[in-house]
Structure 1
Amino acid sequence: MWFDQRSATSEVVGELKNMETITYQDFEKIDIRAGEILQAEDFPEARKPMYKLVVDFGPEIGIKKSAGQITKNYTKEELVGRMIIGVVNFPPKNIEPFVSEVLILGLIDEENKVVLLCPTQKVPKGAKMM
C-alpha cells in the first residue's frame, strides 16, 4: 500500500473525474493475485504508521514483502493468516530501509482508514483476478 490515505472529499472525487480512461489491454497488464499474509511486523522507521508484511502468493509468484498503512483497522495478529488481494507486477518500491515488492489493495472508509480487499470465499494462494 504505497498511497497516502485520504478521505472521499470533493478533491479526491474531482481527481477521479479527471482520470484518464484506460483500455482493456492496459488493464490486462496488471497482475492482481490473492495471497496469504504470513507475517506482520511493526515498521517503526516509516514516516507514517505502517506494518511490514510477508505475503505468500503461491508457487508461481512466491513469497513477497509489502508495507501497509493498515494499523488503524488491523492488529498484527488479525492480519496473519488473512487472505488479501495484491498487484504483483509493479516494480519494487523503496520505503527506507525496506523494499516493498507488491501493492496490497484496499479502500478508504469514512473514517479515513484502509479496509483491505479480501476474497469472500476460499481461493488458492496466487489465484488471479479475472
Structure 2
Amino acid sequence: MSVHLNHTIMPARDRDATAAFLVEILGLEQAPEFGPFRVVSLGNDVSIDVVQAGDDLPSQHYAFLVGEEEFDQIWGRIKERGLTYWADPFHQRSGQINTNDGGRGLYWSDPNGHNLEIITVPYGG
C-alpha cells in the first residue's frame, strides 16, 4: 500500500469561523462537526480538521493544488473579499500571482495568520 495524507489538524482561534472561511474561499461543501473538529473535506479524500485553540497560534502553511478554473474562482473570491494576496510565501510581492513551474499560484492569510496557497502545477512541474 502506498502512503497518502488522510488529514491534518489546523488550530484556530475560532474553529467555526475558520472552517466557514475555508469552505467559502475554496468553494467546498460545508464542514460538518466531528468531535472537537470542523472537517473541511478536500477533493482528494484529504481533510483539514479545524480545532479550537488558544490565541497564541504558530503560523502554518497549507497549499492546495487546484485546476485552472478553480484557481480563477478562488482568486475571484479572494479579490471580492478585499483580501491581500501575494505571489510569494514571504509576502513581498503584494497584489501579484506567480507563474512558477508553468502554472499559476498565489498566497493569502486566513483569519489565524496561516499562510494559504493555491497552485495549478505541483512544484517541480
Question: Which TM-score band applies after superposition, normalised by the shorter structure?
Answer: under 0.3
Output the TM-score relative to the length of structure 1: 0.25
Output the TM-score relative to the length of structure 2: 0.26
More helix by proportion, 1 or 2?
A: 2
